[in-house]
Amino acid sequence: NVSEYQHIQEKLSEIIVGLETIKALIEKSENDAQLDEFGYMRPSLIPLQVISTIIPALYPRFT
């Protein structure tokens, strides 16, 4: 019963927002994938680079 504890609700919502953001960026990277010069399907790098910059801030908060 976390409804009584505002700080726990805030922490849970922060985790949910972080995870949904990462999921959306991964989906964006996959949706914007293109064939490279060798015929391999490559994901878009920009969303993956964004993930790599936000993970160091999110991970300590999640643990």
Instruction: Give pLDDT, residue 63.
Output: 86
Q: How far apart are CA 50 and CA 43, in angstroms?
A: 13
- pLDDT class of 45 with cuts at 50, 70, 90: very high
- Does residue 46 register a pLDDT over 90? yes
34 forms beta bridges with: 42
pLDDT (mean) for 28-43: 97
Q: Is the dihedral of CA 51, 52, 57, 59 positive or negative?
A: positive
Neighbours of 27 (CB within 10 A): 11
* pLDDT tens-place string over residues 6-35: 988 999 999 999 999 999 999 999 999 999
Task: State the total domains in the chain.
Answer: 1
SS3 assignment, position 16: helix
Residue 1, pLDDT above cutoff 90: no
Higher pLDDT, 5 or 47: 47
Residue that is written with structure tokens 């993956």 in the block: 48
Domain residues for the domain of 54 are 2-62
